[in-house]
């Protein structure tokens, strides 16, 4: 009987730990966060730029390969750590001039981010990586 009791306790502890690991920002019944911040929607200023320059490919209905890396339609569902890491990648790719891709730039010159927009996006990326 004692053994069964301890096994039940152990099972309960495992279940709690698994839940905490699987859902890092679940609220407890009392409304206190166990851990993690809330995922943030894309800032309006950033959304404006990526809508013009990126979302032909990086959004639902866009390019599957592109969306495997970043899908702006699903941004809100990314965990905060993933958002921060992706924001860094985005800053890197646009600074290098690797995104939007060369061919797309040639056909859509208006979609090439300006220097001011690059700076804005990279500052946003930094703010997520504090
Ligand atoms: C014409 C379609 C297209 C447009 C427009 C586009 N991308 Fe991409 N992007 C892709 C594709 C395709 C890949 C996947 C490349 C691969 O896997 O080799 C990609 C990959 C990426 C990656 C991951 C790169 C890596 O290797 O880690 C980032 C970050 C990215 N894009 C950001 C952007 C941003 C930011 C914009 C807008 C400024 C943008 N892309 C515009 C097609 C596009």
> Which ranges of the chain does DSSP label H, i.e. alpha helix?
2-22, 44-53, 64-69, 80-96, 102-107, 115-128
Across residues 95-109, what is the average pLDDT? 98
Q: Pick from 51, 61, 101, 110 the residue to mutate for probing ligand 1's pocket: most ligand atoms within 8 Å of its CB.
A: 101
pLDDT tens-digit profile of 34-75?
445 678 899 999 999 999 999 999 999 999 999 999 999 999
- Residue 91, pLDDT > 60, answer yes
105 Cβ closer than 6 Å to some ligand 1 atom: no
* Distance (Å, whole) CA 77 – CA 16: 23
Task: State the number of CA atoms in the 13 A half-sphere of 44 facing the CB.
Answer: 0
The per-residue pLDDT for 33 is 47
Contact 35/25 with Cβ under 8 angstroms? Answer: yes
46 Cβ closer than 6 Å to some ligand 1 atom: no
Reduce the DSSP state of residue 33 to 3 states and report it: strand
The per-residue pLDDT for 8 is 75
pLDDT tens-digit profile of 51-60?
999 999 999 9
The per-residue pLDDT for 51 is 97
* Distance (Å, whole) CA 54 – CA 47: 10
113 Cβ closer than 6 Å to some ligand 1 atom: yes
89 confidence band (pLDDT: 50, 70, 90): very high
């Amino acid at each position: 009987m004692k053994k069964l009791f301890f096994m039940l306790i152990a099972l309960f502890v495992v279940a709690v730990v698994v839940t905490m690991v699987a859902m890092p920002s679940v609220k407890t019944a009392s409304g206190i966060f166990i851990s993690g911040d809330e995922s943030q929607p894309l800032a309006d200023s950033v959304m404006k730029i990526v809508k013009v320059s990126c979302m032909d490919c990086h959004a639902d209905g866009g390019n599957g390969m592109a969306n495997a890396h970043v899908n702006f339609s699903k941004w809100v569902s990314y965990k905060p750590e993933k958002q921060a890491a992706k924001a860094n990648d985005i800053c890197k790719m646009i600074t290098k001039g690797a995104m939007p891709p060369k061919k797309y730039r040639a056909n859509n010159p208006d979609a090439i981010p300006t220097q001011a927009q690059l700076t804005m996006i990279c500052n946003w990326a930094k703010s997520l990586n504090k």
